[in-house]
Structure 1
Amino acid sequence: MSYFVTGATGFIGRYLVSELLANREGTIYLLCRGGSRARLDALITQWGGSSRLVPVIGDLRADQLGVDPDWIAEHDGKIDHFFHLAAIYDMTASDEMNEELNVGGTRAALSLAGAINAGVFHQVSSIAASGDYAGLYDESMFDEGQGLPSAYHRTKFESEKIVREESPVPWRVYRPAVVVGHSETGAMDKIDGPYYFFPLFKRMRDNLPSWLPLVGVDLGDTNVVPVDYVAKAMDYLGHVPGHDGEAFHLVNPEPQNTVELFNTFAAAAKAPQFAVPIDRTVTNRLPTALLPRQFRPGALFGAALRTAPAHLVLNQTLGRFGIPAEVLEHAAFPTVYASKSTQKALAGSGLAVPDLESYAGTLWSYWEDMLDDSIKSDRAATSALKGKTVVITGASSGIGLVTAVQVAKAGAIPILVARGKDKLEQTKALIESQGGQAYAYGCDLSDLQAIDALTTQLSGDFEHIDYVVNNAGRSIRRSLKLSEDRFHDFERTMQLNYFGAIRLIMGLLPKMREQKSGHVVNISSIGVLTNPPRFSAYVASKAALDAWSNVVSSELVGDGVSFTSIHMPLVRTPMIAPTKMYDRFPTISPGQAASMVVSALVERPHEINTLTGNLGALAHTLAPKVAFRILNLAYQVFPDSAAAKGETAAAPTNEQVMMSRVLKGVHW
């Protein structure tokens, strides 16, 4: 078989191509504008550089997609499946843009499909084609006299109508619901749907206690599905025989209440949740069903949201959090999307929409780590970081990865350092795809000679080195009793956490002295202040780095070189993954940790501590004997990890969870 795909570089398109590569045979032709060839080539590399992927230069705005006539003649009758995904998926886009890309693009794609006599034309439509239809809407329904309240709704309806009435070849239509990120990785490429509300959740988390209930409004029901389900379903349904001329609803079979959906994401963000004092359990008791639909509460509320005064108010309130008035206006649907026919066609595939609660945290983490652009509006951060070089160790994952993404958004140039060069290249590609600039250097930071070679190369490659973030580290959680025959644990942690860090700094100091400026951020640990049991190797290495930095700070202040030590609380990173009891412990996210690093780069304080860390240090100063007694109690409550003892991991006890919440952020 052979395939032709438009919109392959788009969000759904990328995952569909992956499914076709994994499950089907034959050549896959990918439409690409001439100016986007580099982007497509980068994606082909990510797809493994398969020779089955062949770019075809064209343009969505041109007849027959602007494809070369010779190519058309050569491939007449040779394309079995034509997937048309290229379109604009944006509720806030202009009428002209929607018309040109959605309607005009569909006509152009159909003209090419007819010219090459494609086997089946697969149109990716949207549930937006149902407009404001109230009630149950199944796959057999299309033109039901529904209103089309926006250009997006209208052009999705018109595009599907064109396919139904004018397609020169057999066709199938797919109507996805609101598509969110990948349910396993969280990967997403743009802000859309519920993502518009994520900055609000972040602001709530950072400024309000999580237990505080907020008053919400029952907007109705919505419907979201992860992109991996959509792509897998399209691949499967596109090849099931006997379904030409049909539409498929790629939706969650169960409508999702908007308040419940928002609360699910708020819980993932650890933000306060909404309580609705007057919801449908109350309003459904009222005789509103006797009223004409346009006079019912939901319809009146929706109409009010579409007025100019409401838009003005919304843009001056929620708009400040990046939530366009148009998005709130269409946050809920009057339509209930039936998918019985689609589910029947999927029988035997094993495909089902996962429960949102099972992957909401994954979506939130990816947004916070990779998509959150709030730093761009932070004048202090952009002023301090724009054009500056920032050496970041351990930049392939966790705190280092997110810090690199964030400083690049502020205009800095991250210099990525880690042992695994392949992962660094992925980070570099991600930063560049977001419009930033980055450089990647593979280096084993436990190898002192390799560090010397790295610092020599960096000093030669860059005119100035403005910042260094010592983030790479090794953590070992093991009691002294189990370490008596493992002295190498102490050597390994010192080698990377202390010797490697100061070797890197010392190698770059000549450059910083020459430019008479430089700032070093050391990612230390809350353990240096609290001294938790079982971390003697790890805490000692971090304390050594702290002590060294404190001493040399007085020597280097005259050279314009300064230091910040961040006594970082427990962070949800791959480094803590082996200790399974941490799964239920309160942690901060890599995004929150990266914010602390950015603050250190911008404000350059000598230390950044948490309240718990300061209280721990104060306890050791004022009442050391009592502090050690409490820590001994923790030593009894928190046993050695299964990994340390070579056993199977066990879930944490209630006592462990309670103590971890009282002493939030401490490594136990």
Structure 2
Amino acid sequence: MSYFVTGATGFIGRFLVSELLENRTGEIYLLCREGSRGRLDALIKQWGGSSRLVPVVGDLRADQLGVDPEWIAENTGKIDHFFHLAAIYDMTASDEMNEELNVGGTRAALSLAGAVEAGIFHQVSSVAASGDYRGLFDETMFDEGQNLPSAYHRTKFESERIVREESPVPWRVYRPAVVVGHSETGAMDKIDGPYYFFPVFKRMRDNLPSWLPLAGLDLGDTNVVPVDFVAKAMDHLGHLPDRDGEAFHLVNPEPQNTIDLVNTFAAAAKAPQFAVPLDRSVTNRLPTALLPRQFRPGALIGAALRTPPAHLLLNQTMGRLGVPAEVLEHVSFPTVYASKATQKALAGSGIAVPDLESYAGALWSYWEEMLDDSITSDRATVSALKGKTVVITGASSGIGLVTAVQVAKAGAIPILVARGKDKLESTKALIESQGGTAYAYGCDLSDLQAIDALTQQLSGDFEHIDYVVNNAGRSIRRSLKLSEDRFHDFERTMQLNYFGAIRLIMGLLPKMRQQKSGHIVNISSIGVLTNPPRFSAYVASKAALDAWSNVVSSELVGDGVSFTSIHMPLVRTPMIAPTKMYDRFPTISPGQAAQKVISALVDRPHEINTLTGNLGSLAHTLAPKVAFRVLHLAYQIFPDSAAARGESPPAPTSEQAMMARVLKGVHW
């Protein structure tokens, strides 16, 4: 069995190809433009470099997709499934672009499918084909006289109509709802749909207390599905027998209240949520409910939002926050999408739409860590970092990974260092896919000789080393009582967190002295200020790095070399994952931690602390005996980790959760 896929480098296309590789056999031909060959080759490498994946050069704008006639002749009668995904999935795209790619591209794909006598033509349409149809819209419905309020709606309808009426081969149509990132990893490749509102959630989180209720409006219902559900469903439905000539709704079977969806993402961002004083349970009882639908408040508001004056107003308000007026027009659906036939076809496959609550956190984290580009509009940050080299250790995950992605967006050149070279290459590829430049160097930072070789190579490879971020670290949570026969815990922690860090700095100092500039950022810990029990190995290693940096700062200030120590609070990273009780404790995200690192790079303060850290340090200075009594109480409340005791992790108690909230960010 063989396949032809257009749009394989697109978002849904990438996941569909993964499903075909995993579940099917035979060659998979992937259409790509000549200029996109490098991007496709990189994806093929990520897919494991399978020989089953065969690039075919062509163009969506050309007849028969611009594919070489010799290839067509050679493969006529050999393509069993032709998946057409290449299109514009963007409400803000121009009318001309929608027409050219959605309508013209579909005609060209059908032309090629007919020329090669494909077995089945699979058209990825959209629920947008229903336009502003009000009421229940099932899989058997298509042309119901619905209004098509935008170029996107119109061209999705038109391209599906062309398939239905003009396809030279059997066809199947798939209508996804609003497609968001992967339900497990959160992976997404662009800002679209609800993602336009994520910067607003971020501003709310950073500027308002999370407990503050905000007034909201009942905006109706929407429908959101994760990309992995869409790809799995298409793979399964596309191979069912005797389903040609049908459309399938890849939607959530239950409409999602828009304000509930907003609050779910706000909760994932730890931002304030919205309360709706007057929802539809109230408004439906008002006399307006007796009016024709087009005269009801919601319909009138929607019509008003589509007027030029409203566009101008929205672009000057919400537009400044990154939310296009075109998106606000269609924030909810007037249509309810029935999917009983699709659900029946999927029965027994194990393929179903997960609850948004179960994966909203993954979507938010991926956006904040990989897609958030607000740093590009920060002129001071871009001015300070553009063109500068930033050595980042521990850059394969957590704080280091997010910092690398963010500084690259500001125009800096991250030099990625970690033990796992494969993960670094993935980070490098991600940065390059977003238009940045990065370099990857594998190094075991607990091996001092390996560090010497690394610093020698970096000094030779780069004319300038402008910044160093010592982020790689090892944390051990174990009481002294359980450490009496584990002295190696102290040795290993000190080896990486202290000796490895200063060896790296000392190896790069000659370069910094020569260039008369350099700034080192050490990721320290709030524990250095608060001295929490069970972290003697970890806190001691970070305190040693602090002390060393404080001493040499006075020696190096004349050489233009400076230091910042960030006493980082508890961060939700893989390093704390083994301590399961942290799952319910207040933490900051890797994105928030990366913001602190970037502030250190730009402003170069001597140290960055939190309020809790400062209060803890003050308590140890003014009332050390009281401070140690409080810490002893915490020592009794918080047991040794299950890993340290060799047991399964228990759920946190109410006392533990309360102390964690009061002393927010402290490692317990």
- TM-score, normalised relative to structure 1: 1.00
Paired AA for residue 271 in structure 1:
A
Q: Residue 85 of structure 1 corresponds to which residue in structure 2?
A: 85
Aligned to 1:56, what secondary structure does the other structure show? strand
Instruction: Tell me how far apart the structure 1 counterparts of residues 157 and 317 of structure 2 sit (CA, whole Å).
Output: 32
Paired AA for residue 161 in structure 2:
K
Instruction: Tell me how far apart the structure 2 counterparts of residues 617 and 361 of structure 1 sit (CA, whole Å).
Output: 33
Q: Residue 291 of structure 2 corresponds to which residue in structure 1?
A: 291
Q: Residue 62 of structure 1 corresponds to which residue in structure 2?
A: 62
Q: Residue 6 of structure 1 corresponds to which residue in structure 2?
A: 6
Q: Residue 648 of structure 1 corresponds to which residue in structure 2?
A: 648
Q: Residue 551 of structure 1 corresponds to which residue in structure 2?
A: 551
Instruction: Tell me how far apart the structure 2 counterparts of residues 443 and 478 of structure 1 sit (CA, whole Å).
Output: 27
> Does residue 601 in structure 1 map to residue 624 in structure 2?
no
Q: Residue 214 of structure 1 corresponds to which residue in structure 2?
A: 214
* 1:616-627 equivalence runs, <5 A: 616-627=616-627
> Does residue 345 in structure 1 map to residue 371 in structure 2?
no
Instruction: Tell me how far apart the structure 2 counterparts of residues 351 and 289 of structure 1 sit (CA, whole Å).
Output: 38
Paired AA for residue 214 in structure 1:
L
> Does residue 470 in structure 1 map to residue 449 in structure 2?
no
User: Shift of the alpha carbon at 1:292?
Assistant: 2.0
* 1:442-521 equivalence runs, <5 A: 442-521=442-521
Q: Residue 34 of structure 1 corresponds to which residue in structure 2?
A: 34
* 1:538-617 equivalence runs, <5 A: 538-617=538-617
Aligned to 2:582, what secondary structure does the other structure show? helix
What is the CA deviation profile of residues 438-465 of structure 1, one whole-angstrom value per residue up to 9, with x for unaligned ones?
0000000000000000000000000000
Q: Residue 164 of structure 2 corresponds to which residue in structure 1?
A: 164
Q: Residue 50 of structure 1 corresponds to which residue in structure 2?
A: 50
Paired AA for residue 650 in structure 1:
P
> Does residue 269 in structure 1 map to residue 306 in structure 2?
no
Instruction: Tell me how far apart the structure 2 counterparts of residues 629 and 261 of structure 1 sit (CA, whole Å).
Output: 45
Instruction: Tell me how far apart the structure 2 counterparts of residues 347 and 252 of structure 1 sit (CA, whole Å).
Output: 15
Paired AA for residue 624 in structure 1:
P
Paired AA for residue 513 in structure 2:
R
Aligned to 1:189, what secondary structure does the other structure show? coil
* 1:145-184 equivalence runs, <5 A: 145-184=145-184
What is the CA deviation profile of residues 221-244 of structure 1, one whole-angstrom value per residue up to 9, with x for unaligned ones?
000000000000000000001110
Q: Residue 429 of structure 1 corresponds to which residue in structure 2?
A: 429
User: Shift of the alpha carbon at 1:646?
Assistant: 1.1
* 1:166-315 equivalence runs, <5 A: 166-315=166-315
Instruction: Tell me how far apart the structure 2 counterparts of residues 332 and 232 of structure 1 sit (CA, whole Å).
Output: 26
User: Shift of the alpha carbon at 1:347?
Assistant: 1.2
* 1:15-34 equivalence runs, <5 A: 15-34=15-34
What is the CA deviation profile of residues 356-382 of structure 1, one whole-angstrom value per residue up to 9, with x for unaligned ones?
000000000000000000000001110
What is the CA deviation profile of residues 147-189 of structure 1, one whole-angstrom value per residue up to 9, with x for unaligned ones?
0000000000000000000000000000000000000000000
What is the CA deviation profile of residues 559-583 of structure 1, one whole-angstrom value per residue up to 9, with x for unaligned ones?
0000000000000000000000000
What is the CA deviation profile of residues 104-158 of structure 1, one whole-angstrom value per residue up to 9, with x for unaligned ones?
0000000000001100000000000000000000000000000000000000000
User: Shift of the alpha carbon at 1:309?
Assistant: 1.8
Instruction: Tell me how far apart the structure 2 counterparts of residues 222 and 492 of structure 1 sit (CA, whole Å).
Output: 52
Instruction: Tell me how far apart the structure 2 counterparts of residues 31 and 489 of structure 1 sit (CA, whole Å).
Output: 53
**Paired residues, number:** 668
Aligned to 2:5, what secondary structure does the other structure show? strand
What is the CA deviation profile of residues 175-230 of structure 1, one whole-angstrom value per residue up to 9, with x for unaligned ones?
00000000000000000000000000000000000010111111110000000000
Q: Which runs of 5+ in 2 are unaligned?
A: none
What is the CA deviation profile of residues 459-508 of structure 1, one whole-angstrom value per residue up to 9, with x for unaligned ones?
00000000000000000000000011111111001000000000000000
User: Shift of the alpha carbon at 1:318?
Assistant: 1.0
Paired AA for residue 293 in structure 1:
R
Q: Which moved more, 1:550-559 or 1:641-650?
A: 641-650
Paired AA for residue 487 in structure 1:
F
Aligned to 1:161, what secondary structure does the other structure show? helix
Aligned to 1:179, what secondary structure does the other structure show? strand
**Percent of matched pairs sharing the same residue:** 90
Instruction: Tell me how far apart the structure 1 counterparts of residues 616 and 557 of structure 2 sit (CA, whole Å).
Output: 29
Instruction: Tell me how far apart the structure 2 counterparts of residues 86 and 396 of structure 1 sit (CA, whole Å).
Output: 32
What is the CA deviation profile of residues 556-610 of structure 1, one whole-angstrom value per residue up to 9, with x for unaligned ones?
0000000000000000000000000000000000000000000000000000000
Paired AA for residue 74 in structure 1:
E
What is the CA deviation profile of residues 530-549 of structure 1, one whole-angstrom value per residue up to 9, with x for unaligned ones?
00000000000000000000
Q: Residue 657 of structure 1 corresponds to which residue in structure 2?
A: 657
User: Shift of the alpha carbon at 1:297?
Assistant: 1.3
Instruction: Tell me how far apart the structure 2 counterparts of residues 233 and 288 of structure 1 sit (CA, whole Å).
Output: 40
Paired AA for residue 134 in structure 2:
A
* 1:314-325 equivalence runs, <5 A: 314-325=314-325
- Decide whether the 8 Å contact of 2:174 with 2:248 is kept in 1: yes
Paired AA for residue 290 in structure 1:
L
User: Shift of the alpha carbon at 1:647?
Assistant: 1.0
Instruction: Tell me how far apart the structure 1 counterparts of residues 289 and 51 of structure 2 sit (CA, whole Å).
Output: 59
What is the CA deviation profile of residues 631-654 of structure 1, one whole-angstrom value per residue up to 9, with x for unaligned ones?
000000001000011111111111
Instruction: Tell me how far apart the structure 2 counterparts of residues 497 and 225 of structure 1 sit (CA, whole Å).
Output: 43
Instruction: Tell me how far apart the structure 1 counterparts of residues 650 and 365 of structure 2 sit (CA, whole Å).
Output: 25
User: Shift of the alpha carbon at 1:290?
Assistant: 2.9
Paired AA for residue 386 in structure 2:
K
- Decide whether the 8 Å contact of 2:579 with 2:641 is kept in 1: yes
| RMSD between superposed Cα atoms in Å | 0.5
Instruction: Tell me how far apart the structure 2 counterparts of residues 317 and 665 of structure 1 sit (CA, whole Å).
Output: 35
User: Shift of the alpha carbon at 1:317?
Assistant: 1.3
Instruction: Tell me how far apart the structure 2 counterparts of residues 538 and 211 of structure 1 sit (CA, whole Å).
Output: 33
Aligned to 2:149, what secondary structure does the other structure show? coil
Paired AA for residue 274 in structure 1:
F
Q: Residue 439 of structure 1 corresponds to which residue in structure 2?
A: 439
> Does residue 137 in structure 1 map to residue 137 in structure 2?
yes
Instruction: Tell me how far apart the structure 1 counterparts of residues 348 and 460 of structure 2 sit (CA, whole Å).
Output: 60
Q: Which runs of 5+ in 1 are unaligned?
A: none
Paired AA for residue 170 in structure 1:
P
Paired AA for residue 532 in structure 1:
P
User: Shift of the alpha carbon at 1:296?
Assistant: 1.1
Instruction: Tell me how far apart the structure 1 counterparts of residues 141 and 516 of structure 2 sit (CA, whole Å).
Output: 71
Paired AA for residue 658 in structure 1:
M
> Does residue 406 in structure 1 map to residue 382 in structure 2?
no
Instruction: Tell me how far apart the structure 1 counterparts of residues 209 and 433 of structure 2 sit (CA, whole Å).
Output: 35
User: Shift of the alpha carbon at 1:392?
Assistant: 0.1
Instruction: Tell me how far apart the structure 1 counterparts of residues 460 and 397 of structure 2 sit (CA, whole Å).
Output: 26
Instruction: Tell me how far apart the structure 2 counterparts of residues 314 and 609 of structure 1 sit (CA, whole Å).
Output: 39
Q: Residue 115 of structure 1 corresponds to which residue in structure 2?
A: 115
Paired AA for residue 105 in structure 2:
G
Aligned to 1:90, what secondary structure does the other structure show? coil
Instruction: Tell me how far apart the structure 1 counterparts of residues 290 and 643 of structure 2 sit (CA, whole Å).
Output: 65
Instruction: Tell me how far apart the structure 2 counterparts of residues 610 and 8 of structure 1 sit (CA, whole Å).
Output: 46
User: Shift of the alpha carbon at 1:249?
Assistant: 0.1
> Does residue 533 in structure 1 map to residue 525 in structure 2?
no
User: Shift of the alpha carbon at 1:310?
Assistant: 1.5
- TM-score, normalised relative to structure 2: 1.00
Aligned to 1:519, what secondary structure does the other structure show? strand
Q: Which moved more, 1:647-656 or 1:150-159?
A: 647-656
Aligned to 1:230, what secondary structure does the other structure show? helix
Aligned to 2:122, what secondary structure does the other structure show? strand
Q: Residue 635 of structure 1 corresponds to which residue in structure 2?
A: 635
- Decide whether the 8 Å contact of 2:283 with 2:289 is kept in 1: no
Instruction: Tell me how far apart the structure 1 counterparts of residues 285 and 275 of structure 2 sit (CA, whole Å).
Output: 19
What is the CA deviation profile of residues 223-281 of structure 1, one whole-angstrom value per residue up to 9, with x for unaligned ones?
00000000000000000011100000000000000000000000000000011111101
Instruction: Tell me how far apart the structure 2 counterparts of residues 246 and 489 of structure 1 sit (CA, whole Å).
Output: 62
